[in-house]
Amino acid sequence: NAPVRQDFIRNIVRDDLQSGKHAEIHTRFPPEPNGYLHIGHAKSLCLNFGVAEEFGGTCNLRFDDTNPAKEDPEYVEAIKEDVRWLGFDWHELRHASDYFEVFYLCAEKLVQDGVAYVCDLSAEEVRAYRGTLTEPGRPSPFRDRSVAENLDLFRRMRAGEFADGSRTLRAKIDMASGNINLRDPAIYRIKKIAHQNTGDAWCIYPMYDYAHCLSDAIEGITHSLCTLEFEDHRPLYDWFVDQVGLTANPQLLAPLSAQGWHLEAAKPRQIEFSRLNINYTVMSKRKLIALVQEKHVDGWDDPRMPTLQGLRRRGYTPSSLRLFADRVGISKQNSLTDFSLLEQALRDDLDAHAERRMAVIDPLKLVVRNLPEQHEETLRFANHPKDPSRGEREVPFSRELWIEREDFMEVPPKGFHRLVPGGEVRLRGIGIVRCVELVKDGDRVMEVHVELDPDTRPGGSATDRKVKGTIHWVSARHAVPAEIRLYDRLFNVPTPDDEDDGGPGYRAHINPESKRFVTGFVEPAAAHCPNELNMQFERVGYFVADRRDHQPAHPVFNRCVSLRDTWAK
């Protein structure tokens, strides 16, 4: 039962289908392969793939690889893996670089139409000529070159005759425009570097604003969804699409048709929505790269990173991230989403889907004195309290158990309802025990000895006798030692990225408590699980068997999220 999602973008799409403007919807997700995907990208993925799915259309995965200096095939592979992991299936896999020849032909057309020129100003001069918000720009002295001269120079740019940065191809639009993006923006720059997809084939590379809209048009994208920063670029987006006129000039697609590609160009419409911002984290790729390179975290998939790889390793499920995206919704309002919304989506997803197990992360020995030394039983516990279809598992029980150290207090504060000297508590699934003796080493309690009331055991005459507390346990003889990785939020302030506001910057706000490894004990059924299986360790939190390091013989569990929000003020 998929939820019916309502937002302004879906309304536009619905109207466009109803009015017959489009017979089919085509969207795309266009990452630049210059880093790993993060939770912000998940919002865009859920929107683009979601709209295509909901309206029976298609969504392409397109690598926006027009800036070879920062791009890497490692990122390309990771991005594909992440998109699939989230559960999305792209229609076509494309690269902006697949269209380099078409972009070039389109640029020649612009030159021939007299709306593009080769400019010899340096980057610095271009900036100076461009003007400011309050001051109109000045025309480049090269603005009125003839078509023939421009064509000759542009072809020689492509042929590699000129040095990096010595010339650009620029659109001839309006140096006095109130929108600075329209003051003769660059279309091509010279960069004699190899490209991860096209190798040495090119030494001129198209600018983002030019390549993006044409890629959309080439692929027949109907709705090009992007974040709000691009609102001011929309007039330029439309200008390029209209000036090139791919729909009226399908011959420009010849280099692609020659490769056997079937393409139906369309006039795409850019629609902007607000990007996802979350407190207690940083999301810009530059800062994420710095966290990795400066070793503040253990790599891209460190379970504290907001990357999809990190979230996955932390134990976030694809369905929890989709649930989060649904709850955040789509709007044009910039806002800061509370980190707890992300955590709550995971809790809600895991509460419904994760099986329950028992684990003790700070063990204290408990001896049931009135059971014989060799006593051993196999009990059956439900895997999920609300879902009988998840079945049962076997849980061994014996005379010596591990309990959580914090579930016993020798000198309890008022209101402590767990085990105390002389007091009673219920052992989960067993019955009521009374603390009769302590074994201590100096001040430290080493063992708690209890007596089990046999009448309170399942099937006994006093099973419904009430005590205030119930605690979990694992059988000491059967428990499997496990490495428990207790992760928490990476930053300990809501806005770690405070450099621009005079703060010390995100590096200074790393939460030293965000990673703590302990050795605990888990019941056998928890240890024998596949990597990436999520579980609730009862009363302790939600955990996942580490994707890389967990082995049944050497279990490693990451805390995904605590059972309750401990950050709420």
Q: Which of 44, 140, 309, 398 binds ligand ATP (CB under 6 A)?
A: 44
User: What is the closest distance, in whole angstroms, from the C-beta atom of residue 555 to Mg ion in the complex?
Assistant: 39
What 3-state class would DSSP assign to 491?
Answer: strand
275 assigned to active site: yes
Catalytic residue selected from 275, 390, 393, 434: 275
**Contact call for residue 57 and ligand ATP (CB under 6 A):** no
Cα separations in angstroms, 39 against 97, 288, 452, 564 = 26, 12, 49, 22
Stretch that binds ligand ATP, among 283-291, 383-391, 476-484, 541-549 (CB under 6 A): 283-291
Cβ distance 3 to 329 under 8 Å?
no
What 3-state class would DSSP assign to 225?
Answer: strand
- Residues at the interface with Mg ion (CB under 5 A): 32
User: What is the closest distance, in whole angstroms, from the C-beta atom of residue 84 to ligand ATP in the complex?
Assistant: 16
183 binds, among ligand ATP, Mg ion, none (CB under 5 to 8 A by kind): none
80 assigned to active site: no
Cβ distance 241 to 217 under 8 Å?
yes
User: Six-digit token pair at 158?
Assistant: 């492509």
Of 11 and 284, which has the nearer Cβ to ligand ATP? 284
User: Any known ligand binding at 276?
Assistant: yes
CA separation for the pair 109, 101 (Å, rounded): 12
Catalytic residue selected from 14, 32, 155, 365: 32
Of 227 and 495, which has the nearer Cβ to ligand ATP? 227
Task: Return the half-sphere exposure (C-beta side, CA atoms, 13 A cut-off) of residue 225.
Answer: 29
What 3-state class would DSSP assign to 275?
Answer: coil
32 assigned to active site: yes
Handedness of CA 460, 461, 464, 465 (dihedral sign): negative
CA separation for the pair 76, 136 (Å, rounded): 41
What 3-state class would DSSP assign to 356?
Answer: strand
> Quick one: which of 143, 209, 134, 146 has its CA closest to 174?
143
Spatial CB neighbours of 381, under 8 Å, sequence gap ≥ 6? 356, 358, 392, 393, 395, 429
Catalytic residue selected from 10, 28, 167, 285: 285
Determine the Cα angle at 457 with ends 452 and 462, to 5°: 95
User: Any known ligand binding at 410?
Assistant: no
**Contact call for residue 275 and ligand ATP (CB under 6 A):** yes
> Quick one: which of 96, 80, 100 has its CA closest to 88?
80
Q: Strands 355-357 and 359-360: what pairing?
A: unpaired
User: Any known ligand binding at 99?
Assistant: no
354 binds, among Mg ion, ligand ATP, none (CB under 5 to 8 A by kind): none
Per-residue binder mask for ligand ATP (CB under 6 A), 5-34, x = binder? -------------------------xxx--
Q: Which of 40, 137, 423, 520 binds ligand ATP (CB under 6 A)?
A: 40
195 binds, among Mg ion, ligand ATP, none (CB under 5 to 8 A by kind): none
Task: Give the dihedral of Cα atoms 471, 475, 480, 484; nearest 10 deg.
Answer: 10
User: Any known ligand binding at 327?
Assistant: no
CA separation for the pair 47, 49 (Å, rounded): 6
**Contact call for residue 195 and ligand ATP (CB under 6 A):** no
User: Any known ligand binding at 157?
Assistant: no
Per-residue binder mask for ligand ATP (CB under 6 A), 206-235, x = binder? --------------------xx--------
User: Any known ligand binding at 208?
Assistant: yes
Per-residue DSSP letter, 502? T
Of 321 and 366, which has the nearer Cβ to ligand ATP? 321
Q: List residues forming the annotated binding site for L-glutamine.
A: 64, 208
- Residues contributing to the site for ligand ATP (CB under 6 A): 30-32, 40-41, 43-44, 64, 226-227, 275-276, 283-285
Q: List residues forming the annotated binding site for ATP.
A: 32-34, 38-44, 227, 275-276, 283-285
Q: Which residues have a catalytic role annotated? A: 32, 275, 285
Q: List residues forming the annotated binding site.
A: 32-34, 38-44, 64, 208, 227, 275-276, 283-285
